[in-house]
Amino acid sequence: MCTGNDGPCLCDSWVFCGNKQACGSKFGECWLKKQKDTLAPDRHEKGDKTMWTSGLVFGKGEGIIGMETDYGTLHIKLLPECSPHSVLYILELLSLKHCAGCELYRAETRGQSWDSHGNHIKDASFGPPFALIQGTLNAQGTAFEKLPGEFCPTVRRGSVAWVGSGPEFFISLANHVEWKKSYTVFGYVLPEDMEIAEKIAQLPTKSDVWNNIKVAVLEKPVSLLIRRMKNSEEDLNQSAK
């Protein structure tokens, strides 16, 4: 569906008719489609009773959202191929045009356990600190429904993942292979923006204990605004592969 280094995509969505009784002669058919706007795709009925299953495909430079902070904008490439439910929730946040209540409230550096590339240093502990920034994406005035666990890659430097079923989430500053596939990764920060995440991790914090684990909580939470980004921007096209 996509050409040359994963983009652009001639078709960017698909629908599959998987309900044998409801689909009739169309059972097993899979159709490719082109959306007018991949960040605001056409959606119809949903739920267990619908006979259609559908999904998105983001090519190079597509499916990138901005997480705006006072310290810069984190450009995040979404991963619908492994976390479709999570990506759908993010797209719903985009449609709200606000994210009041969305913020980062925890910040922990790589300490002496991971190097600047996110690799674990031999014989070092695995935290604390845990090399991450954590927050919530629960916009005020909206009802949040717990998200299912989804098949996703392991947590790497730049991974954006849910804590449990959300809406708490974190951005990893390190390669946490020790966590295996315990978290749903629904996107990743473009490499050139990781310096913004590192800057936030250096902000003043105070110590706290959550479930017998020492954590670092930001003295002043960092507000977040979720924004859509133009996929035609040359710098994003060069970075998102």
Would you write out the chain's pLDDT as a tens digit for each of its 241 residues?
Answer: 555 555 556 666 656 677 777 787 877 777 666 766 666 666 656 656 666 666 666 666 678 999 999 999 999 999 988 888 899 899 888 888 788 999 999 999 999 999 999 999 999 999 999 999 999 999 888 888 899 998 778 999 999 999 999 999 999 999 999 999 899 999 999 999 999 999 999 999 999 999 999 999 999 999 999 988 764 344 444 444 4
Are 229 and 236 spatial neighbours (Cβ–Cβ below 8 Å)?
yes
Domains of the chain: 1-58 (no CATH), 61-239 (2.40.100.10)
Beta strands 132-136 and 103-108: pairing type?
antiparallel
pTM above 0.85, yes or no: no
Among candidates 99, 123, 71, which has minimal Cα distance to 228? 99
Q: CA 36, CA 2: separation in Å to the nearest integer?
A: 16
Q: CA 190, CA 186: separation in Å to the nearest integer?
A: 13
Q: CA 8, CA 13: separation in Å to the nearest integer?
A: 13
Q: Which two tokens stand for residue 77?
A: 């490439």
Are 95 and 133 spatial neighbours (Cβ–Cβ below 8 Å)?
no
Distances (CA, A) of 50 to 27, 30, 36, 57: 13, 15, 23, 21
